[in-house]
Structures are given as structure tokens and as C-alpha cells.
């Protein structure tokens, strides 16, 4: 436990972290990769280049300082990050390395303002925070390995089927190369895929939501092809999966992880809203509800540019048809002539339309998609008076801010 003096010092740095947090974390990653280049095999290079990882870490450090005397307040955020760490294979012996470079970054960015007293307080506080993460992650590693069909690290899965779902999304049906059982998962969770790509210096790891219900003899991921550019990391993995990987090839997967999950104990109506490839965890949730004969009313809403970019449409419609209490609605921003009669709304999802197609506001809401889309949906639901406790969403990649995303265009 931290003493009162250390807590007071840490709290005194909160205003500084609010201003300089991202500069500190940017410098931190520079120092980290310079001293331990092997860690470039763990982190998503595209998120680094785009600044997403630096911003996410800055927000975490800020929250830790703000609630240093009440760390239980940030436990949900700790668990969310811990799921990512367990999925990536972050180990306890890497935490001292992180601490050393984080303190060095604080010292360099703040200069004379980073007194010995402040640095010593942060060193002590970091030790406490790191131990929280290590403890939570140790339990997750144990559960992932010891559950039926579970495993440690990465396991080889063979691509049994590769199916093009739209012009930009392809599904991969994955079965264990060793022929053994596979771990169950909660609808909404993801797996990490580790890939060594020719002509790429480092290993790449990406998380992909599982897009079918648990209990099948396979895992399914549905991957959107992202545009790649020479010298850029964004799209490297998805393009390789789409263009080079074929049926019979092997992918290396970590056990399922993630805290964005469908509450199967809930009995109220459920509303699933997605944009673009954000439908993947939503389809997993829908399939689970129908396959388990849930009597909960289900409203499934998906937004896409047009029918050519609308993946898994037929599968969702077939699944909806198996449940009398389920309805699906499509919203196309820019429908083509071929889409005539195949969608329910042109333009963007808005509150009047949501109020029209959702039978009752008293429901549990899950949504996923591009961050500006999620910010828009979140604002619509809050304006309607939906309690924040009934609203659940998932960021693809490092956790961002829906408030900041409000400034970006929805499409």
C-alpha cells in the first residue's frame, strides 16, 4: 500500500499528465523499442504509427494517477487491458522494463519539473499498479490454459474454409492442427493471430472477433481487407490474409479473450447495432441467442455503405428467420441500383429511426463499428434516455474516447 505522502505526490501530477501525457507515452515507446527491439514483435505497429497506442496508455496513466488512492475504481479498465495482455502474451518479467522506460520518459519530457521526489513516488506507485496487472493476468493465463480445450501461448489452427463474404470481408474457418478440442468462449470475444509475413522484419499480431457462436468444432474470424500502403503497417496483415493465405494453411492463435461479452443471464430484450466489419461480434451474439433458444426479443441493426460491402447478410437473415422474436434492419449510406428493395433505410442510423424499429427503449444495447459510428450511436441512445449501464461497446484496437470521436465524421 502507498503512504499518504506518495499518494499526494502522485495526485499533484494529475494536471501535468493531462497536458503532457501523450508526449510522455510517445517518448516511452521510443525508449522501449530502442532498448528492447524484440518487443516490436508484440505491439501493433499500425497503432503505434497512428498514435492510438500512445493515447490509450496516456489515458491509462492519467486514470491511475487520478484514482491512485482508489485503484478499485479503474479495475474494469485494468481487466480490459489485461485481456489484451493475456491475448498478446505479455509476461510479468516485462513489467520492470516498462516501468524503467516510463520513468525515463517522464524525466525527459518534464525536465526539471520531474524532481527526485516525484520520480521516486511514481516508481513506488508503478510497482503497486504493475502488481495489480500481474495478479489479474496470472489468473487469466491460468484459466485460458486449464479450461477444457484451452492452451498456453499460441496454437496452430488449420484453415478449413476460406469464404468471401463481401467485396472487402472474408471469413476463415479455423480448426486445431493437433485435432484436439478447442476452448469455449463468450460471444463477443476475440482471438489474437500471430503472423510472420515474408519481407516483414517483425512478427505481426492482430486481434479478430470470433464471428460465430461458441460450441462449434471451429473458430471463425471475418476479416476486413484494409488498404495498405508502401512503408505503412496498416493493412499488412489483412491484405496478406486475403491475398496469400489459402485453405489448408496454418494460423497461430491465442486462446479467446475480451470483456465485451453478451450477458447470457440477462432476460430483457437485446439490441445489436453494428457498422461495417463491427458486425462480427454482433453476429456471434445473435447466433448464440438463437442457437440457445433464448426467448429474449432481438433487434439486429447493421449499417453499411451498400449491399456490396454488407457481409454475412444472408446468414443473419437465415438466423433471424429461426427466431420468432427476432428482427433485422439494414441501413445503407450510399445504396446502389442493385440494392433496391434490399434495405430499410438510406443514409445514417438516427434516433427517430431507432425509435421506430426498436420495440422498447427498455433493452440492453451492444454496438461495434468505426469509432465515429460508435460515438454517434452512443449519443443517440443517451439522448433517448437509455441508461449508460445498459450501453456496451467495443473498440477494435486500443481503447479510445467516444467523446473525441464525436468530432470525426460518421462515415
Residue-wise pLDDT for 70-123, tens only, equals 988 888 888 999 999 999 999 999 999 999 999 999 999 999 999 999 999 999
Q: Which domain holds residue 227?
A: 155-253
276 is in an annotated binding site: yes
Nearest to 121 by CA among 74, 68, 72: 68
What does the block give as the cell for 170?
A: 472474408
**Same domain, residue pair 244 and 287:** no
pLDDT at 227 over 90: no
pLDDT for residue 327: 97
Task: Share the mean pLDDT of the chain.
Answer: 92
279 is in an annotated binding site: yes
392 is in an annotated binding site: no
364: phi then psi, degrees, rounded to nearest 5: -105, 130
**Same domain, residue pair 202 and 141:** no
The H-or-E segment that residue 378 falls in is helix 371-384
Domain boundary among 146, 175, 204: 146
Across the range 256-266, mean pLDDT stands at 95
Cα–Cα distance, 10 to 31 (Å, whole number): 23
Residue-wise pLDDT for 48-57, tens only, equals 666 677 888 8
Residue 242 lies in a domain: yes
284 is in an annotated binding site: no
What does the block give as the cell for 220?
A: 471463425
137 is catalytic: yes
What does the block give as the cell for 353?
A: 429511426
Across the range 174-184, mean pLDDT stands at 97
Assign 300 a pLDDT band (cuts: 50, 70, 90): very high
Length of the chain: 411
**Same domain, residue pair 354 and 298:** yes
209 is in an annotated binding site: yes
Residue 260 lies in a domain: no
Give strand pairing partners of 204: 195
Count of structural domains, the chain: 3
pLDDT at 231 over 70: no
400 is in an annotated binding site: no
Domain boundary among 253, 282, 299: 253
pLDDT for residue 405: 45
**Same domain, residue pair 33 and 126:** yes
Residue 399 lies in a domain: yes
Give 280's Cβ-side CA count (13 Å radius).
28
Residue-wise pLDDT for 181-199, tens only, equals 999 999 999 999 999 999 8
Report the SS3 class of residue 60. helix
Cα–Cα distance, 336 to 319 (Å, whole number): 25
Secondary structure, 3-state, 157-185? EEEEEEEECCCCEEEEEEEECCCCCCCCC
Residue-wise pLDDT for 306-336, tens only, equals 999 999 999 999 999 999 999 999 999 999 9
Residue 265 lies in a domain: no
Residue-wise pLDDT for 337-354, tens only, equals 999 999 999 999 999 999
Most confident listed range (69-73, 234-238, 383-387): 383-387
Burial of 315 (0-12, 13-18, 19+ CB in 10 A): middle
The contacts of residue 340 (CB under 8 Å, 6+ apart) are none
Residue 64 lies in a domain: yes
Residue 410 lies in a domain: no
277 is in an annotated binding site: yes
Domain boundary among 253, 282, 307: 253
Q: Which long-range contacts (CB under 8 A, 24 or more apart) does 241-244 make?
A: 241/170, 241/172, 241/195, 242/170
173 is in an annotated binding site: no
pLDDT at 299 over 80: yes
CATH of residue 326's domain is 3.40.50.80
Assign 130 a pLDDT band (cuts: 50, 70, 90): very high
Which one is catalytic: 62, 95, 173, 393?
95
pLDDT for residue 140: 96
**Same domain, residue pair 218 and 324:** no
**Same domain, residue pair 112 and 237:** no
pLDDT for residue 297: 97
Report the SS3 class of residue 203. coil
Across the range 275-285, mean pLDDT stands at 97
164 is in an annotated binding site: no
pLDDT for residue 298: 98
CATH of residue 54's domain is 1.10.490.10
Cα–Cα distance, 27 to 31 (Å, whole number): 6
- Of the listed ranges 245-249, 271-275, 365-369, 393-397, the one predicted with least confidence: 393-397
146 is catalytic: no
Cα–Cα distance, 66 to 60 (Å, whole number): 10
Which one is catalytic: 137, 165, 186, 394?
137
Amino acid at each position: 500500500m502507498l503512504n499518504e505522502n506518495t499518494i499526494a505526490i502522485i495526485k499533484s501530477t494529475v494536471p501535468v499528465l493531462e497536458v503532457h501525457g501523450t508526449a510522455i507515452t510517445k517518448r516511452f515507446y521510443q525508449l522501449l523499442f530502442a532498448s528492447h527491439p524484440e518487443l516490436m514483435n508484440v505491439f501493433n505497429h499500425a497503432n503505434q504509427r497512428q498514435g492510438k497506442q500512445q493515447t490509450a496508455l496516456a489515458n491509462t496513466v492519467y486514470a491511475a494517477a487520478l484514482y491512485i488512492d482508489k485503484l478499485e475504481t479503474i479495475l474494469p479498465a485494468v481487466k480490459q487491458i489485461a485481456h489484451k495482455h493475456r491475448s498478446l502474451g505479455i509476461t510479468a518479467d516485462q513489467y520492470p522494463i516498462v516501468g524503467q522506460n516510463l520513468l525515463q520518459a517522464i524525466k525527459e519530457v518534464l525536465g526539471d519539473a520531474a524532481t527526485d521526489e516525484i520520480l521516486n513516488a511514481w516508481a513506488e506507485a508503478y510497482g503497486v499498479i504493475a502488481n495489480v496487472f500481474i495478479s489479474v493476468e496470472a489468473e487469466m493465463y491460468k484459466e485460458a490454459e486449464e479450461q477444457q480445450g484451452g492452451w498456453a501461448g499460441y496454437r496452430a489452427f488449420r484453415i478449413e474454409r476460406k469464404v468471401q463474404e463481401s467485396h472487402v470481408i472474408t471469413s476463415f474457418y479455423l480448426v486445431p492442427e493437433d485435432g484436439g478440442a478447442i476452448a469455449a468462449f463468450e460471444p463477443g470475444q476475440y482471438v489474437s493471430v500471430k503472423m510472420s509475413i515474408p519481407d516483414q522484419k517483425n512478427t505481426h499480431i492482430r486481434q479478430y472477433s470470433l464471428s460465430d457462436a461458441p460450441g462449434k468444432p471451429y473458430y471463425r474470424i471475418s476479416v476486413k481487407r484494409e488498404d495498405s500502403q508502401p512503408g505503412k503497417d496498416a493493412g499488412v496483415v489483412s491484405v496478406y490474409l486475403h491475398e496469400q493465405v489459402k485453405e489448408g494453411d496454418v494460423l497461430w492463435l491465442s486462446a479467446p479473450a475480451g470483456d465485451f461479452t453478451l450477458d447470457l443471464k440477462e432476460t430483457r430484450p437485446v439490441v445489436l447495432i453494428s457498422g461495417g466489419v463491427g458486425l462480427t461480434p454482433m453476429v456471434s451474439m445473435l447466433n448464440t441467442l438463437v442457437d440457445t433458444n433464448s426467448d429474449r426479443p432481438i433487434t439486429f441493426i447493421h449499417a453499411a455503405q451498400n449491399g456490396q460491402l454488407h457481409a454475412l447478410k444472408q446468414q443473419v437473415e437465415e438466423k433471424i428467420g429461426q427466431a420468432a422474436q427476432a428482427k433485422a434492419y439494414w441501413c445503407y449510406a450510399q445504396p446502389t441500383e442493385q440494392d433496391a428493395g434490399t434495405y430499410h433505410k438510406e443514409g445514417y442510423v438516427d434516433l427517430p429511426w431507432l425509435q421506430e424499429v426498436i420495440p422498447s427503449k427498455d433493452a440492453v444495447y451492444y454496438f461495434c463499428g468505426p469509432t465515429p459510428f460508435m460515438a454517434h450511436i452512443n449519443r443517440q441512445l443517451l439522448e433517448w434516455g437509455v441508461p449508460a449501464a445498459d450501453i456496451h461497446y467495443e473498440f477494435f484496437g486500443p481503447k479510445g474516447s467516444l467523446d473525441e470521436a464525436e468530432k470525426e465524421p460518421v462515415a
